[in-house]
Structure formats: C-alpha cells, structure tokens
Amino acid sequence: MNAPQTYRPCPACEQTDVTDLAHLARDTWRIGMCTACDFVFLRNPVEYEALEEEYSWEKTYRAEGAKRRKHRGPIKRFAHNMRMFSRRFRDDPQTKYLKLLGPGKILDVGCGEVVRWSAPFIPYGIEISKTLSARADEKMRALGGECFQGAGAERIFTLPENHFDSVMMHSYLEHEVHYRELLAGCFRCLKPGSKAFVRVPNYSSINRRLSGGKWPGLRYPDHVSYFTPDTLRAAANEAGFEFKLTNKATIWLDDNIQALLIKPQDQPT
C-alpha cells in the first residue's frame, strides 16, 4: 500500500502551515513540523482500517526490527546490549507499575496480544488489530478482564466513565492519529485520583539529533506523532491531567519519555 498523498493539519493545534522535514522522509511518507507550535508529526498517515489488517503491528514489527538492526553501528549495538543487560537488575514490569499506579482495573491501550498484568491488577485492553485483540481477549477474560477491538481514540468512549483504576499507554500514543481525543477518553474513564502511564519516543533526545533519519524512534507509517516533554505535557494538561515525568533526571539522554498523567481527585463521580 502506498502512502496517502493528502496531508493533514497539525494534530496539536490544527494549523495548516507546516514545514516539510525532507531529511526525515522515507519513500513517500512525509514528516512535518508545525510552524505555529513546533509539533512534529507524520503528515500522511494511513486510515484506521489499514492498521486493523494490512499495517497491523504483527505484520510490520519483524520487518522494522530487522531494518533497525541492519543500521546499528558498533556504538549503537553496544548501547543496545547494555540496555538488555541492565534489564536483569530492574524490577519486573508488574512490580514497577504496581508501585506507580496501584492495584485494580488497568486498561492497557494498544496491548497487542500480550497480557502483562496479573492480580492484584485486573487486565483490560484496547487493540486495533483484529487478530491480536482476539488473542488478548481470551487471556484477559481468564483473569477477570476483557479486550476491546477498535481504534483507541474511538473505542475508549464506549467504556464506562470513572471506571478504571489506571491506564497504560506503553509505546502507544505515538501510534495514535487522534491522540488528543484518546487522552480525553482516558481522563473520562479513569476514576478521580487515578493515573495513566505514558511512554513515547523522545523527539528532543540527543540521540535523535545525532542520528537524523536513522533514529529508531522514526517508524513509518506506525509512528504518527513525535513528542517532546513539553508537547506531551501540553497535551496532558489540555485533557485535564496533572503531568509528572518519571525519568526527569535522564530525560535529555533518554530516547523515551516516561510520565504519569494524574486525574485530580476533586472530580465529579
């Protein structure tokens, strides 16, 4: 499937004056920066229907991974191996996120077929791929939860208000064309005082500046929104959340932004 030739306005402020970043283009995919707010985004994303089938994650992940490994030089290979090694000494994901989010009903947006959570979490999910959502649903139902198939920014508004104890958006928000609507939906379905965790590629990182078009955070057509800490904070605040970086000390070096979005306690129930 070829990239669409129609270009969208800035998803952050809806302005149409966009600078084309030709050095970050690949094939017919075009990256742009809004001249009004400096938000960086894929200008010609595919429709949701293509992400359900033709461009679904399970069909693009291996090919993209092979492409990235091919372009790694010795320094990047060493850094990658060190990251993999350091994971042995970190808390497992269940322990880490239980500390950050607390127990209860967790909604994993863009969960794929992986179920990361067990008691005291109750796992729920949203997944656009029809194949992966069916697999996740079977696993989640066995643990008392459920997986809902559909586009995140649309499906989340079919879920109950003030219902979930936490939301997980690990490596998801960069895939969402309508990320502002998705964040508004997360705010709506979270209980007052609850939290969402977000992890997205960090467009302001040093590695991105040095790597140019070979930066691993650039992925076509999967990644459609490229956040900095400031633009992610602005999006979270617009939706009503308080914003807290969890990797603030290393953010200038980190290829990813990790943050908690906190729904204020004084919300109507």
Write out pLDDT tens, residues 5-57.
799 999 999 999 999 999 999 999 999 999 999 999 999 998 865 554 554 44
Closest by CA position to 228, among listed 249, 256, 267: 256
Token look-up 């938000």 returns: 39
Report the chain's mean pLDDT, rounded to a whole number.
87
For the segment 132-144, the average pLDDT, to the nearest whole number, is 97
For the segment 64-78, the average pLDDT, to the nearest whole number, is 52
What pLDDT does residue 49 have? 57
pLDDT at 267 over 80: no
What pLDDT does residue 92 have? 83
What burial letters (b/e) apply to 242-268, b meaning 16+ CB within 10 Å? Answer: ebebeeeeebeebbbbbbbbbbeeeee
Q: Give the pTM.
A: 0.85
User: Per DSSP, what are the bridge partners of residue 233?
Assistant: none
- What are the structural domains of the chain? 18-262 (3.40.50.150)
For the segment 211-227, the average pLDDT, to the nearest whole number, is 93
